Every structure is written in C-alpha cells, then in structure tokens.
Amino acid sequence: MAFRIGLLSLLGFHLSSSTLAHPQQSVTTRSACENTPQSRSCWATSFDIDTNYYEEWPDTGRIVEYSLNIAETVLSPDGVPRPMITANGVFPGPTLEADWGDTLVVHVTNSLPNNGTAIHFHGVRQLNNNQNDGVPSVTQCPIAPGKTMTYTWKATQYGSSWYHSHWGLQAWDGVAGGIVIHGPATSNYDEDLGILVITDWSHETAVQLYPGVLEIAFSIQDNGLINGTNTWQDKGQRWEVVFQPGKKYLMRIVNVSVDHHFKFSIDGHTLTVIAADFVPIKPFTTTILNVGIAQRYDVIVNADALPGNYWLRAFPALLCDVNKNPSNIKGIIRYDMGSSMNPTTLPWPSLDINCDDETQLRAMEPCVALSPGLADEEGNIDVETFLEDQKYWKWQMNSTSFRGDWGNPTILQVHEGILNFTQENDVIKLERPNEWAYFVIETDFIFAHPIHLHGHDFYLLAQGTGKFDASTPLNITNPLRRDTAMLPLSGYMVMAFKADNPGAWLMHCHIGWHVESGLALQFLELPNAINATLDADQLTSTCIQWNDWQKDYNLIQDINDSGV
Ligand SMILES: *[C@@H]1O[C@H](CO)[C@@H](O)[C@H](O)[C@H]1NC(C)=O
Ligand SMILES: *[C@@H]1O[C@H](CO)[C@@H](O)[C@H](O)[C@H]1NC(C)=O
Ligand SMILES: *[C@@H]1O[C@H](CO)[C@@H](O)[C@H](O)[C@H]1NC(C)=O
Ligand SMILES: *[C@@H]1O[C@H](CO)[C@@H](O)[C@H](O)[C@H]1NC(C)=O
Ligand SMILES: *[C@@H]1O[C@H](CO)[C@@H](O)[C@H](O)[C@H]1NC(C)=O
Ligand SMILES: *[C@@H]1O[C@H](CO)[C@@H](O)[C@H](O)[C@H]1NC(C)=O
Ligand SMILES: *[C@@H]1O[C@H](CO)[C@@H](O)[C@H](O)[C@H]1NC(C)=O
Ligand SMILES: *[C@@H]1O[C@H](CO)[C@@H](O)[C@H](O)[C@H]1NC(C)=O
Ligand SMILES: [Cu+2]
C-alpha cells in the first residue's frame, strides 16, 4: 500500500534515515509562503513560478515512500471483465504525490508469473540519475518475478505526470498511474481535483491485439475510459464530479492511450491551460484541447455555468484512431449532488479530426522564458515503416528498428567499459559537455507520432507538414519546451536540447504498438561521465536475478519485441 513517510515525519515520527535531517526547516519554510487559492504563484521562502527549475529547486529534506506491487488481475472498468496487469490491483494505479524538492522512494515488486517489469517515471528529468529511469535493455535489467527494485529520485520539477511500465505492452494492459508534484502555478484555483487519466480501451488485452496490429498497422479500440471508468451498453458507470458554483478547479489531464489522440472538452465551460507536460505556461483559454498520447495538460475549469449537468468529453481524433464507440468517452460534471440525470446533449463542439497539435501550440509560452544556444551538433532522424517478410509492419528511426537485450542493458555495458556503440546499436552519441544538439525528425508516411524524449525537456523549434528545408524558420525565442510532441503525418519536428545529463536516454514514439515494434533510439549522453553516476551493486544484482530467471524459465525475447 502507498504511504507517506513525509507526513509521518511532519507529525514528529523519527525515521532512521539521514536524509530526513531537516523536517523542522521544511515546516518553517512552508509557513513563510502561503500557497493559497489567492497566491498560487509563490512557493516556500525563496521559490516561485519564475524559478528556473533546471538550475534550482527546494531541498525539503523529506522522503516520500511508495510501494507498487505489479500483478495480474481482472477488472471491469466499463462493466466488462478483462484480464489486466496493474499496480496494487487498481487502474489507474495509486497516484504518487509529493512536494517540489522531496525525494521519492518507490519500491516496485514483480508479482507476475511470467513477465519482467520496470517502472518509468515519465517526464522526470533524473539529473545524474539515469539508472532510476526504468527502461529495460537501456538503464536496467527487468525486475525478475518475485523480486523488488527500489527507485529513488528527486522532484526537481513540479506539476503532473504519470508512471508506467516500460516492459513489453504492460503499460497498456494497466501498469500506469499518475504523478502529482505540488508546486506553484501560473493561475489561481480553489481546488485540485488531481490526475484525470484518459485512455482508449479494448476488451482484448494489448498482448492479444498486438499480432493483429503487426498485420494491419493499427488497432480497433472498443471504448475509452475517463479516470479508469466508463459505460458499455447497459453496464459500467461514468466518472462524475460535483462542482460548487463559483469555484475554480484544477484538473491534471494525462493521456495514456495506446494509440488514441483525444479532443478534450467540457460542454458549457472554457478551459484555462496552465501547464504542458512539466512546463508551466502563460495561461491561455480554449474550448477544445488536443491531447496527444503521453502528453499532459493542467487546466483550470471555472464553475461558472448555469446550474445543471454537463458532459466532459474525450473525443478520439478519427483521422488517426479507430474506435467503435467514439461518442461514448464521456464523464459528467454536476452542479447538484442530488441529480442522477444524464446531461442534456448539446450539439458537439465543432471538432476537427486531425491528430496534430501544432495550431494550439502557438498559444503556449513557457512562463520561465529560456532560449536554446546555437547548434553545436545537427542531425536528421527519419521515421519510417517497413514490411518485414512482406507481411509485418515494423518501425525504424534513422534506419534501424530498435532491438535491445533485456539482460544486457546499455549502462551495464558502459559500466564494463564498452563505449564503442554505433548507429547499428540504435545509439547516437553526444560527447561534449553542454553542447547543444538540434535534431530534425521527419516522416514521409501518413501517420502522426507522439515523440517522447527521456532525461530532458526539449525545445520545440519547428513542427509542420511537408518537407523540412533550410528555409523553414526555427523558433529560438522562448519556444515551447516539453518532453513529448507530435511529429505530424508526412511532416517534421525540430527539437533542441543541451547535453548536460549523463546517461543512456531513450527517445521513442509513445504509441504502444510502435515502440514495441522498433520506433526508438537512444542518446548516449556524456558517455565518459555515466559510470560515476551508477550504483553498480544495484545494477548488477538486478541483472543477475533477471538473467537467472530468464534462463530457468526459458523466456525467449520475441523478434517483434524491441526490448523497451
Ligand atoms: C506477459 O504476461 C501476459 C499476461 O499473462 C502474457 O500474455 C504474455 O505472453 C507475457 N509476455 C511474455 C513476453 O511472456
Ligand atoms: C483519478 O484517479 C486517481 C487514482 O485513483 C485519483 O488519485 C484521482 O484523484 C482521480 N482523479 C479525479 C479527477 O477523479
Ligand atoms: C513476429 O513477426 C514475425 C515476422 O517478422 C512473425 O513470423 C511472428 O509470428 C511475429 N510474432 C508475433 C508474436 O506476432
Ligand atoms: C491521447 O493520445 C492519443 C494519441 O496521441 C490521441 O489520439 C488521443 O486523442 C489522446 N487523448 C486525449 C484525451 O487527448
Ligand atoms: C543516422 O544514421 C547514419 C548512418 O546510417 C549516421 O551517419 C547519422 O549520423 C545518423 N543520424 C544522426 C542524427 O546521428
Ligand atoms: C565504473 O566504476 C566502478 C566503480 O563504481 C569501477 O569499479 C569500474 O571499473 C568503472 N568502470 C569503468 C569502465 O571505468
Ligand atoms: C565493441 O568492442 C567489443 C570488444 O571490446 C566488440 O566485441 C564489439 O564488436 C565492438 N562493437 C562495435 C559496434 O564495434
Ligand atoms: C515561438 O514560440 C513561442 C512559445 O510557443 C510563441 O509564443 C511565439 O509566438 C513563437 N514565435 C514564433 C516566431 O513562432
Ligand atoms: Cu508512432
């Protein structure tokens, strides 16, 4: 069960860890700044919404501890029973919650009979902490059945995100939950409703669907879930919340779909968007928000409509998604707790069916204004699909389809002195400290991909359809920074980041099918500095446990499993 040592220590319990040295101090700093509904921009004594969180963050001295038990279970989120793999038996998994500057300690136990597992904390920078990034074949061996691995990381950023398994298709069979790091905000609100997980949903498991996806390149989903619940025919129930008129509610929307983009809206209400991924932005309002896979938006909803019942909708972007029940993915906002009526159906907001996020991105301006340095290194990365055996759809980035070895992760090799990786190993090296790397990611295939980079918020310098060429303007004046952005169909995106975080960082498409079939590569960043960041005992013992188990169990890594 999840529990918080932080709370215990505030209540005066003394734990034997030396990192809990200053609980007193954190109490006094907290009272110096009242982060209240009227003053959400401040935080502790010397931090606020303008703090450059890549360079400084509070040190609360507190540890927040959670245990996640990964096991097979059967749940009926929309009334139809389905085998799932979950954290602590629930979907979404328990929300990991902490304050900016806390240290999270997450014990993950693999209680599965025949799968490995590993947990990735999506969007967390993991500065000098690559080993806690949770990617099998890259930053660790999978956790073997019956074994536990402890992840430790510091919340240097704040906002909303999610954690998920990075092993096989587990994330899309249910191993996913929210992360909330409390911190300042660019606009005031009264109440924090927490993470709202939106996902596409099928009555077959992702593992069952995958062979079909290899043959037709996409899946047909039955339904969708709003924070783990929905209806199906006459079964199941809808997610609901009751608003008090005049209050402002914060909702932290996270899209964890396997392959659906959603248009998010609430009938009769506008949305004030205040953060994109872990990056606070200048508030802007919209009625429909495009949420790509793995992207997050913090939105404030003002309960200013006439009392009544209203639909909250997540409508799939039908140009790239196939869903049998697109207009059923809804929850209910009520103003009267006693009401059990369905909302009156207003006309659908005018929806486009596109899967891109470019138009809306122009309105998003980071609050902490930063600009990238000039390019020290430039490269092109093509995203392509190919037919293996003239029959199976596979994906590649820069002409290789990712294939990692569960039992021999990149950083174990680095630890053993192997640094001669090449593009054949799906590796791009960034060797000079603080160099700025610019990459043009392109595709000429009619498919949009949410591209996610580990270990960084990247600067999104350009994004569009058609061919990128030397005349395409780059936005280098406080462009949007984030960790996931859409590569438009038959288009390009240009990203930039600074090589300041030693490690092997995965970059991949977040469509479950695509990453499983090779749409990934890894940046080997500051290779000579990686070994010094590693906890060799943990790295090697997890690998010994895994390799022993894999040999005993005789589990062969399928040719269609990228290993990440
Ligand atoms: C992982 O577990 C699922 C559910 O039991 C199973 O269907 C799948 O085959 C397992 N994956 C591997 C690679 O063994
Ligand atoms: C969604 O579910 C998570 C996990 O149970 C919970 O922490 C959160 O409060 C829920 N969010 C909303 C908006 O209901
Ligand atoms: C993986 O792809 C190969 C062809 O590349 C195919 O023969 C095999 O059946 C596929 N395996 C699964 C589990 O779909
Ligand atoms: C989730 O992401 C997928 C894929 O990018 C997208 O199709 C879907 O619309 C997104 N969901 C929401 C609520 O935006
Ligand atoms: C892509 O691969 C080629 C070799 O095929 C390599 O020369 C090039 O540097 C790679 N791209 C990047 C951005 O590293
Ligand atoms: C990595 O560091 C460890 C000490 O933690 C050392 O024993 C090992 O030799 C180093 N490996 C390399 C390749 O330098
Ligand atoms: C890297 O070096 C090892 C020996 O140290 C060798 O076995 C391996 O083939 C080399 N890999 C590449 C890609 O050159
Ligand atoms: C650059 O990006 C910022 C933030 O997204 C935006 O406000 C600005 O208008 C963009 N500038 C150009 C020239 O596109
Ligand atoms: Cu993709």
Task: Judge if the beta carbon of residue 255 lies within 6 A of ligand 4.
Answer: yes
Q: What share of the chain is helix, strand, coil (3-state, %, to 5)?
A: 15, 40, 45
How far away, in angstroms, is 422 Cα from ligand 7 center? 10
Over residues 252-278, the mean pLDDT reads: 86
What is the rounded distance in angstroms from the CA atom of residue 93 to the CA atom of residue 170? 13
Highest mean pLDDT among 16-30, 34-48, 426-440: 426-440
- Helices (H), ranges, 42-195: none
CB atoms within 10 A of CB 382: 15
Residue 357, pLDDT score: 56
Give the residue, by CA position, lying nearest to ligand 8 atom 12.
475
CB 193 within 8 A of CB 250: yes
Q: What is the pLDDT of residues 442-469, one digit of tens each?
A: 999 988 898 999 999 999 999 999 999 9
Supply the pTM of this predicted model.
Answer: 0.91
Residue with the bigger pLDDT between 85 and 221: it is 85
Q: Tell me whether strands 279-286 and 248-255 are parallel, antiparallel or unpaired.
A: unpaired
Going along the chain from its start, the domains and CATH numbers come out as: 3-15+368-553 (2.60.40.420)
Residues, the chain: 564
Residue with the bigger pLDDT between 53 and 326: it is 53
Residue 30, pLDDT score: 43
**At residue 87, what is the residue type?**
A
Q: What is the pLDDT of residues 336-370, one digit of tens each?
A: 989 999 998 666 655 555 655 545 667 789 999 99
Task: Judge if the beta carbon of residue 128 lies within 6 A of ligand 5.
Answer: no
Residue 17, pLDDT score: 34
36: which 2 tokens? 């209240």
Task: Judge if the beta carbon of residue 148 lies within 6 A of ligand 8.
Answer: no
How far away, in angstroms, is 263 Cα from ligand 3 center? 34
Q: What is the pLDDT of residues 115-131, one digit of tens each?
A: 999 999 999 999 999 99
Please report the atom of ligand 6 found closest to the CA of residue 534.
5
Above 50 in pLDDT, residue 436? Answer: yes
Over residues 431-447, the mean pLDDT reads: 95
**Residues forming beta bridges with residue 507, ordered by sequence position:** 453, 521
Residue 287, pLDDT score: 87
Q: What is the pLDDT of residues 383-419, one digit of tens each?
A: 999 988 888 999 999 999 999 999 999 999 999 999 9
Over residues 285-308, the mean pLDDT reads: 88
Please report the atom of ligand 4 found closest to the CA of residue 314.
13
Task: Judge if the beta carbon of residue 537 lies within 6 A of ligand 6.
Answer: no
Of the pLDDT bands very low, low, confident and very high (cuts 50, 70, 90), residue 136 is: very high
For 488-559, strand residue ranges (E) read 491-498, 503-509, 520-525
SS3 364: coil
CB 92 within 8 A of CB 197: yes
DSSP string, 432-450: STT-EEEEEEE--SS--EE
